[in-house]
Homo-oligomer: A and B are copies of this chain.
Amino acid sequence: MTAEPHPPLQVQAVAQAAREASRRLATTTSEQRVSVLDRLARQLERQGPAILAANAEDVALASEALEASALQRLKLDGPKLAAMVQGVRAVAALPDPLHRVQLRRELDEGLELTRVACPLGVLCVIFESRPDALVQISALALKSGNAVLLKGGSEAHRSNGALLDCIQTALREAGLPETSVQGLPDRAAVAALLQRPDLVDLVIPRGSNAMVQSIQAATRIPVLGHSEGICHLFLDVAADTVMAVALVRDAKLQYPSACNAVETVLIHRGAAARLLPALVADLAPRGVELRGCRACLALVPALLEATEADWDTEYGTPILALKVVADLDEALAHIRAHGSGHTEAIVTEDQAAAERFLAEVDAAGVFHNASTRFADGFRYGFGAEVGISTGRIHARGPVGIEGLLSYRYLLKGHGHRVEDYSGPAARPFRHADLPLDI
């Protein structure tokens, strides 16, 4: 992670070294990959003081330019470092994702097809502020045999450099190429790589909506992630009042800047007089700015009036839009028009309404009587999270380590020719599935 700008040729050399490292990683044993992660955990512990010192320099330099929340994400301390080490050990302990047989089929006598998991190849990861993201994503990539090109925020330059040193030391000690995880110097290097589908297999941006959108717009390489998280809670006519209030509070306030926090609450007209005052009474004293539609204002005149723009805004702060809808149909239509396909929830005691909502909403997560905040790889039990995808291709919703995998078909024969299975006297295929566990 040097600061000099790299000319395109140098970026290409870096990426080609990553490609070569990825070939080496693809044929490593589980033990070799676990050994790198064990060494990384120890290295992070040993280098703890140096990492914190580098981070303190970053924080001191950035303290005027950054907002308090960004500074908080940038700052490392003992507990964060310990969590980082624990995270690396947790990834090391995951079952080996590589070389797993996903399909095993006898096409005919002596002709056996298997489908085997393999790494994607070279990942390009772009993240902002949080240096811990560097370690987390590198651990996931190495566990799954992928090489990584990393670009962190410039404000975390020293912290990232210290962490990358630990990773490369661990790789070297384990006898694997240091070029398995490399830093990219600047945005120009990222921009150059985004034009090279031959050098990079997957782009993973972790950061603001604007950053993710600009990357999606700039490349034909597959991008894993999401830009917007406009999530809704629909309070049905048959919603329990206490539960509805508790779920709105959790979905809005438990962590307002998360992508799975709620932005708009839709309230069934038949329950608005019951639910809206209860919501206001709970949320207003907690400092939530409430913006309502006309029908809301008619019930609670003290609310601010929402504009059309509110239905399409991801606040990321304790602001909540409220809208009265005629029925479930109008709620579904509003979600179709304004949702971002991330996570949508209904609160109701009416099983039929819940089933319809679960069947009809097209989003990565569709919930009944649960907070949208559950949409998360750790809460889903994936052990570790690569990111949350709102795309439909490859991986959707919270993505665990399997999002970093592809597969290969291996076919073992004894001189089998297609000619014998073609034409009028074609030999038939057997197509018998075999047990996977050998």
Q: Which residues of A contact B (CB under 8 A)?
A: 23, 26-27, 105, 107, 111, 113, 118, 120-121, 201-202, 216-217, 219-220, 222, 240, 242-243, 246-247, 249-250, 254-255, 336, 354, 358-360, 362-371, 373-375, 379-381, 391-394, 396-398, 406-419, 421-422, 429, 431
Contact = CB atoms under 8 A, between A and B. Distances in A.
Contact of A359 (B27, B362, B379): B27
Contacts of A121: 362, 392
B107 A381 contact: yes
A360 B222 contact: no
Given A120-B393, A201-B392, A222-B393, A412 B369 contact: yes
B247 A417 contact: yes
A407 B113 CA distance: 26
A107 B409 contact: no
A247 B111 CA distance: 14
A412 B368 contact: yes
Nearest to A418: B373
A411 to B, nearest CB: 4
Contacts of A220: 216-217, 219-220
Copies in the complex: 2
Given A393-B393, A397-B408, 18 more contacts: A23-B336, A23-B362, A105-B381, A111-B370, A113-B380, A243-B415, A250-B418, A254-B418, A366-B408, A368-B412, A369-B413, A371-B418, A375-B409, A375-B411, A379-B418, A393-B406, A397-B407, A398-B409
Contacts of A419: 250, 254
29 contacts: A23-B336, A23-B362, A27-B359, A27-B360, A107-B374, A111-B370, A113-B380, A118-B362, A121-B392, A201-B392, A250-B418, A255-B418, A363-B408, A364-B408, A365-B408, A367-B411, A368-B411, A368-B412, A370-B411, A371-B413, A371-B417, A373-B417, A379-B421, A381-B431, A393-B393, A396-B408, A396-B409, A397-B408, A397-B409
Contacts of A429: 379, 381
Contact of A415 (B247, B255, B362, B408): B247
Nearest to A217: B220
